[in-house]
Amino acid sequence: MTAPSSGETETEKPAIVLFRHDLRLADNRALSAAADTGKPVIPLFILDEVSPGIRPLGGARRWWLHHSLAALDKALKELGATLILRSGQTLAIVDDVLEKTGADMVLWNRRYDPPAIEVDTALKSGLTDRGIASAGFEGQLLHEPSTLKTGSGGFYKVYTPFWRALAAGDEPRAPLPTPKDIRGFEGTLASDTLSHWKLLPTKPDWAGGLRESWQPGEADAQRRLADFIDGALEDYADKRDRPDRENTSRLSPHLAHGEITPFQVWHVLSGLGDRLGDNVLKFRRELAWREFAWHLLFHNPDLASANFNRDFDAFPWRYDETALRAWQDGKTGYPIVDAGMRQLWETGWMHNRVRMVAASFLTKHLLTDWRAGEAWFWDTLVDADAANNPASWQWVAGCGADAAPYFRIFNPVLQGEKFDPHGDYVRSFVPELAQVDADAIHRPAAKKAQKSAPDVKLSAAYPVALVDHREARQRALAAYQQLRGAHEHHSDQPRKRRQT
């Protein structure tokens, strides 16, 4: 889509650029389109947590947002513009800025979660009614969920055919460069301050590990991509599942905040030729998992609150507050799970393989509703987004689209031994086990009755297992059979239309 053209007189009227999940200057089509008009530009970020359906950000995302907005404002000032901050309902704030500045154009990059789509649709309608030019651009996703359809005209519910359709499409466009300069708005316009929003934790300040682990902003996103291309990508296909190695890109929080676009990542990968063929293909498929999650959310607005497979509405979840808290605190007695949960709390991030193991443990070993885990991750992950987080939880729990079968239950001991064979990952986050030998470090849960055994050096400070793996597995399978039985019993009954 091309930005509306403007006449000579209209160039004096400013254009508003809405920033949302696109906290960057490069490959920002809305910003570039505004700069190209020659109009004064008003960059505007609205912290909207009051429009219907908008999900308030979790604590870790709020921490990241503070620093990302600070970096964006600094970068904009270097080009001649100032970021305006407002909090409240999007429509009301845009109306206020239009009235106070005389702006005659509003540009944005499209969003794809249904509540945000409703806000933007209403905004565009209102602007059109008032004769205000507007345009939306792509940038968050490689594909448009409304146009990528199955042969029958529906949406994709299985990843593999989705990937094939995505890969068979046109090559993603080349990313845009950063605008050379921006004509900033010189009028007076009130702005909130980041300190006023109180996005950072204070009492207690739990963000020390986040500060040590991350540098939010577009510049660090590009640095991480370059470091990944020059290093870990070479072994990505073989070693990406190893949490004890630095073999993942760690671009996820930068993508979640739009500090980098999938177009930029894809373009860099395309320039590598065939030298890293299998590794490039594998990484592209991981990017496509993100696309698939957003595809699902676009077509399923309640992805974070309702089972995609509604047969799971009858699943016999248990609620054990003590067990849930032990899982959250990384005190389950299973080292790979506990290391992951402590890494999450300390750094706001967890290795993807460990995320699957930890999620499986909560939903299958503890029979805890996946929504409890999704809510915890939403609050503690710096990369939590409205699509990936619930889609991944539903996948592990067995109730999602293209889900892992419910009877696939990760054995946390074997997973630890396979993917953290020397125990280095566990030792990094579970200091109670720092002195345990590699051949025993993933098995203290199984040795809980043998703490005095001379061949096992266990710390008394490390908790015993919440559950026995074999017993928990049998309990989970029995629950699944109970669900299947209930489903088969009612399979001959007339089905009522399900509300989604």
| Residues annotated as catalytic (active site), given as ranges | 286, 289, 317, 352, 370, 393
CA 203 to chain centre: 26
Buried-state track 328-342, b at ≥16 Cβ within 10 A, e below 16: bebbbbbbbbbbbbb
Structure tokens at 87: 């909090």
Strands 105-109 and 133-137: parallel
The alpha carbon of 474 is separated from its chain's Cα centroid by a whole number of angstroms, namely: 32
Token pair 């005095």 is found at 452
State the residue for tokens 């460990």.
354
Q: DSSP code of 51?
A: S
User: Is-contact 422 293, C-beta < 8 A?
Assistant: no
Sequence-ordered list of residues with C-beta below 8 angstroms from that of 211, at least 6 positions apart, any chain: none
The token duo for 181 is 């300069």
| Two tokens, residue 123 | 């905004």
**C-alpha distances in Å from residue 477, one per residue of 77, 116, 184, 482:** 58, 39, 62, 9
For residue 431, whether the previous peptide bond is cis, meaning omega lies within 30 degrees of 0, is no
CA atoms within 13 A on the CB side of 312: 22
Are 461 and 397 contacting, i.e. CB atoms less than 8 angstroms apart?
A: no
d(CA 17, CA 7): 19
Give CA–CA dist 306/309, Å, rounded: 9
CB 215 within 8 A of CB 64: no
Count, in order, helices (H) and strands (E) of the chain. 20, 5
Q: Is the Cβ–Cβ distance between 255 and 388 less than 8 Å?
A: no
Q: Which two tokens stand for residue 145?
A: 């969920």
